Chain A
């Protein structure tokens, strides 16, 4: 009983981490940069979804589409303002710039959305259904399906389709890619828009299980980055797998050993795992071509 409920909880929460972590994967494989405002992008998705669906009463599909579009737009802004100016000069300052961008967004939302946490009700998170004796909300079963589905889609798109391969070519050699007729800047910008849209989607999926407030994404962002590294950031499958494992370990440690020790044990496991597998679960070492 204890274990079954831990497994169900762990897979549901873990797939949320995986979904946000896929956003780190997408920009990394295209440009070797990541957007550390991923947690804030997730929050943005949830806040916008709440605004359109609950406050303005739009139909759900329209509210979701509009929120995703605005999240993607945020990704374009992040790339243009916080990443490109630094990355093109070979500077690593985009690390700090994207962290700062996230903090700015959190505070803008704090002042516009307000200080009080709000609820984003959904019929998918009201009546629990029985799964091997443990209760789950239907939404908790949908999130892993969406997460795994997106991981598979990304893997196929990057490795089996021409536009996908073109995106991957950018990271290997920008000049060669440009000569082959690939628009490098658009490719990178697209990857950022896709990554923030994924985070926004995660935010809207999590919102009914959680409450919406301006700093809801902070801890998710950090855990998702740990998951991305653990999975080997270059593999979509690896990232999703790491997310599920992270959630499982977190829930099982809490259930079997006790919540006082959860954070200590889980993060210790991450450090050990990275020491043993420096390239993550399914990642591979980047060959340095001279």
Chain B
């Protein structure tokens, strides 16, 4: 008996749970499966700290939020999508409040908003500094009411079943028992998040391996704008733990080894004692990360056993402000690096944080493959363009999670049959998994070695600054790693909760995603937002005001096409900060 559902969600984080609720509310008769490789409350949404942007202040306007997002994205954002997004964002955040999310408040009881990097007005809603945690738990607890939502906790999806250009379900491993199962569905929504673990230093949890991106890529859907990888300028070295942008929004300074606020040298405004919107430390993330790399080149950063760092100075804020507005920052620094922000400087460096690119979708979360949808970080609509503004990604989960849910619900309510060919694919996959992992012996390559080499390759060839040479080298190394992966050694032959098998599958996903990133970056011969080419330092709207779409070809290499950006009311301009 093969389990079958109307809509199947891969991933149970913010986007997945919001989509599940949207489907349940749109059509209570549809059967919904949430298939997640971890329990939903472990999803990476839980780590988000800073906040979620939505226009509610009387002196703010939708157009301003749109403009900030579009210019922050270096004009690569699809403006129709942005307009829909910023309009629906406040509604979604409000809906979450109605579901119990404990947004921080003004003394009179109304929702409070705070400033955030790249935004000209105060519009970031926040729940202390654990916004993602509260959002995820609110969503998860709210889904418990809907009996049409069936959860498959700790089931790892290995493959999408596709036949006749339609997605018809998935093959997944039930981690507890090791059983390989087919689950058919009329529509599948990918909500698996980003792929930060492709890089060595990342804020991302161990579970962010680009699963959904690789699944879609292998199924024939294109990945869009994969070259745009966002670095967060302030992560703790070694662990990569994020020190939220809010620390800068509350007034923190970034200083180099001479105690100098170095950002003033990089066209980001003049240093003021208090934070100024879109200036200095509140400038956009990509510009801050680039400033760091240049400081390293000038020898003005501090060298530590974990690489080069600069310092984040919060001491002048005082203990009371830190404990009220940034309690989690203090807790993180004390618990993980034994540093007290009230008295000490915090060592930080840019760490990979977010993937602007992802599975290509339209404004309703639909991919070119019938029956396949995507929402959240795994998808690229695109609203974030070449660089995402902080506090835009949490509302993105809600807006596009809901949209994709509604669109998938409508599709699944129609006449959709599961074809026998899809089931044959499933049997194939089960056999292949068993051969590759359970019954194999020998193998020369250590999993962790391959993974680390991939990560080092990515940081060297496709980091904050790239060049044609570094990318070409990277592409070659990744090809080599793909081949060596064929010889990976799996020591764990057990079926019960075999995490080594999972790690191998995740690595194979990551290698595909890494190749997509490097090849997309190689083709984009300009610098825009988070993609900076030392050999093509200028932005080139003539050739590249377009999204890159990368497809996997049958011979396991890829081809890249371009899709023009949708412009509505904002013609491309210059990204200007600090003025």
- Judge: A and B partners, yes or no: no
Contact residues of A with B, CB < 8 Å? none
